[in-house]
Amino acid sequence: MVYFVSTPIGNLKDISLRAIETLKEADVIFCEDTRHSVKLLNAYDIKKPLMACHKFNERRAAEEIIECAAAGKQVAVISDAGMPVISDPGNIVCARLREAGVQYTVIPGANAFLSALVLSAMPAEKFAFLGFLPDKQGERLRLLQKYKDLDLTLCFHAAPQDVDRYVADMLSAFGDRSACAVREITKLHEECLHFTLAEGLPGEKRGEYVLIVEGASAVQNPLNQLSEREHIARYMAEGMDKKSAIKQAAKDRGVPKSRLYPFGIDL
């Protein structure tokens, strides 16, 4: 049997009794970073062979896991923190196990974005988790555009060096919205900061973040459904000059006028 085991996202006590039991009974543990995971294992006096399973070797690790399972070994798969597969390695392993007919299960536990959603106090009856956004800005903006009209809370992971550009691109794609940045979840300096996309998140960025952004309003300006160029053209067709049309379209969308100027060049 292969077990995907959730581990603490901060406080080492946030691990289930079943997770500890599973790790102690495993013959081998596949982990994202052996140096990181050994700290958790030492805290619970768990001494097991450790093998690497990270984003750069996951396909090879999947075959090794299949071999271990075929030999009758109990295998545990963990990531550095939280649930394997969710914004962490493990999805390729799951797919290969399914293809190979190897039995596997999950030992649930801590999860960063769900904890952040609770702490944010933002609407949680409907939400979408989008994880880490693409590195390239063009790809990032195209992805965000797909979700701009959804009337549900949006959740993202962000490394500290990416927070400011994520927020800027969200503003460009969504217009101004309420947002919340959560970091150091379950730790001593846990922090939950509310801001608007137009304001940006102030201060030095440290540690991994979960960004929670409000969804599109249930009642939207129908012109916002148009492309930027069509939006400006609609106001010009009603008699506005180009400058006024861009200004009004920017107001409708909650973005700076400068972001819409390129769409009106050839109008």
Short-list 58, 55, 43, 4, CA closest to 26:
4
Candidate ranges 64-68, 177-181, 203-207, 224-228; pick with highest mean pLDDT: 64-68
Kind and range of the H or E element at 91? helix 91-100
pLDDT given at position 254: 65
Domain borders along the chain are 2-109, 113-213, 222-264
Do the domains at 2-109 and 113-213 have one common CATH topology?
no
Rounded to an integer, the average pLDDT of 66-71 is 97
pLDDT digit string (tens) for 173-213? 998 898 999 999 999 999 999 999 999 999 999 999 999 99
Look at the domain 2-109 and name its fold.
Cobalt-precorrin-4 Transmethylase; domain 1 (3.40.1010)
pLDDT given at position 195: 93
> For the chain, what percent of residues have pLDDT higher than 90?
75
Name the percent of the chain in helix, strand, coil, to the closest 5.
40, 20, 40
Given a cut of 90, whether residue 91 has pLDDT beyond it is yes
Of residues 218 and 249, more confidently modeled: 249
CA distance 170 to 164: 10
Length of the chain equals 267
Contact 193, 201 (CB under 8 A): yes
- Is 2.60.120.10 the CATH number for 113-213? no
pLDDT digit string (tens) for 128-154? 999 999 999 999 999 999 999 888 999
pLDDT given at position 225: 74
pTM listed for this prediction:
0.78
CA distance 194 to 171: 15
DSSP 9: S
pLDDT given at position 219: 44
Q: Mean pLDDT score of the chain, rounded to an integer?
A: 93
For residue 244, what are its two tokens?
Answer: 């006024």
Cα→Cα distances 175→13, 30, 167, 217, 234, Å: 40, 43, 11, 11, 19
pLDDT given at position 218: 45
CA distance 264 to 149: 23
pLDDT digit string (tens) for 233-263? 888 888 889 989 888 888 777 677 888 888 8
